[in-house]
Amino acid sequence: MSREETFLEGHLLLAMPGMPDPRFERAVIYICSYTEDGVMGLVINRLLGGLTFRELLEQLDIEVEEPISDLPIHAGGPVETGRGFVLHSTDYIQDSTLVVSETVALTATVDILKAIAEGRGPRHRILALGYAGWGAGQLEREIHANGWLTCPADEELIFGTEPENMWPRAMAMMGIDVSMLSSLSGHA
């Protein structure tokens, strides 16, 4: 694939009002991989209730002397919800890390969790269980049907904004007043 065909990699998907799938209502998704076979991204504005970072470390038998304070865990999407991912700044890279952009990478190993717990991990990080995925052409059809807006990712939005503020802030960054958006859409 040419770079033009993978242009959404490292971008954000913003759910339009009226998103028919409640799992993605007001979702902000960071696109990690965009290939001819499909798209993979992480919902970055939904916190997962009922599991703390310390509990996750215990479940994975990761022992550290003085683990850092608890970090929120995000519901990254409805696919493979038992699989963990860390979206993070590029100051931490392993052989298995997928570097998505100059400032953002994705790692899905236990080693990064241990590094984070010990205070040696990436400066910025979002821990997520599960991911959002689309088959070949599926996301393009959803975008064409006015289900999603796309915009370049902003590091401050990704790592420096509270989850509940991401969607309205991303829309405002695009110059969109969400109060003016209708949940009904159509084509002229």
Here the CATH number for the domain that contains residue 67 is 3.40.1740.10
Whole-number CA gyration radius for the chain: 17
Nearest to 128 by CA among 53, 35, 59: 53
Stretch 141-160: mean pLDDT:
93
Residues contacting residue 115 through CB under 8 Å, at least 6 positions apart: 92, 121
User: 59 or 168: whose pLDDT is higher?
Assistant: 168
The pLDDT of residue 3 is 40
Residue 176 has pLDDT above 90, yes or no: no
Asked if 98 and 105 count as a contact pair (C-beta separation under 8 A), the reply is yes
Stretch 40-48: mean pLDDT:
96
The pLDDT of residue 187 is 44
User: 55 or 96: whose pLDDT is higher?
Assistant: 96
For residue 98, is it within any domain? yes
For residue 169, is it within any domain? yes
For residue 173, is it within any domain? yes
> Whole domain around residue 142: which residue ranges?
3-180
Stretch 38-45: mean pLDDT:
97
For residue 91, is it within any domain? yes
Number of structural domains found in the chain: 1
For residue 185, is it within any domain? no
For residue 136, is it within any domain? yes
Place 26 in a pLDDT band, splitting at 50, 70 and 90: very high
Of 9-23, 57-71, 139-153, 161-175, minimum mean pLDDT range: 57-71
Average pLDDT, the chain: 88
Taking the C-alpha atoms of residue 103 and residue 122, their distance in angstroms, rounded to an integer, is 11
DSSP string, 141-177: HHHHTTSEEEEE--HHHHHHS-HHHHHHHHHHHTT--
For residue 52, is it within any domain? yes
Stretch 143-172: mean pLDDT:
93
pLDDT tens for each residue of 84-120: 999 999 999 999 999 999 999 999 999 999 898 888 8
For residue 187, is it within any domain? no
The pLDDT of residue 86 is 96
Stretch 68-78: mean pLDDT:
86
The pLDDT of residue 52 is 83
Stretch 76-86: mean pLDDT:
94
Stretch 132-151: mean pLDDT:
93
